[in-house]
Amino acid sequence: MLTPDDPTKLPFHYFSASSFDLEHYLVIEISKALEEILASRRRLLDTPLSTGEGEYIRPIECDQVMDLTHHIREITTKLSRKLSSIDQAQEVSNNYYKLLMYLYSASEKSRNIDRLIQQFRPICMDSTSKQRTNFTKIQREVTTFARTCEKIEAETEGILDSILLKT
């Protein structure tokens, strides 16, 4: 993995086009998925629902969080399929099964957030104790989900590095 000098830029993996084959294509796809997870996680953490900004959360902000968690869930599902299609991924990296565990965990956490938001959305504009309790639960779940995404990012980078160093 190459780390740019500017800390605001994403790290990237580089390989020459002359060594292009199916495995390298999958590496490119996995790298793209990694970038999408990172970008979606950052957008998720900037939502008013996760930052706790404002007294009331609007229904559209609930929908925004649900859209982001759905997007991350789709990416993690595709990522797990792509990883399983690389024959050597299990052999090259000791973290392969750990990453799969995080991917499945992210999917479950996403479903849990969806369930909580569906309960919260009708009362999100209220100022009741039930609204505050549900809001706090969702904030905790979003934070846990974001941490899981960070672990996915780290493990995926490790696997990509292992695969690229082996070839």
* pTM of the predicted model as reported, rounded to 2 decimal places: 0.79
Domains and CATH numbers, the chain: 21-46+57-166 (1.20.120)
Q: What is the DSSP string of the chain?
A: -BPPSSTTSPPB----GGG--HHHHHHHHHHHHHHHHHHHHHHHHTSHHHHT-SS---HHHHHHHHHHHHHHHHHHHHHHHHHHH-TTHHHH-TTHHHHHHHHHHHHHHHHHHHHHHHHHGGGTT--SHHHHHHHHHHHHHHHHHHHHHHHHHHHHHHHHHHHHHH-
Q: Highest mean pLDDT range out of 30-34, 112-116, 132-136, 163-167?
A: 112-116
pLDDT tens column, 58-110:
899 999 999 999 999 999 999 888 877 765 556 656 777 888 889 999 999 99
Q: Highest mean pLDDT range out of 35-39, 54-58, 98-102?
A: 35-39
Per-residue pLDDT band for 153 (boundaries 50, 70, 90) equals very high
> Out of 9-13, 31-35, 38-42, which region has the weakest mean confidence (pLDDT)?
9-13
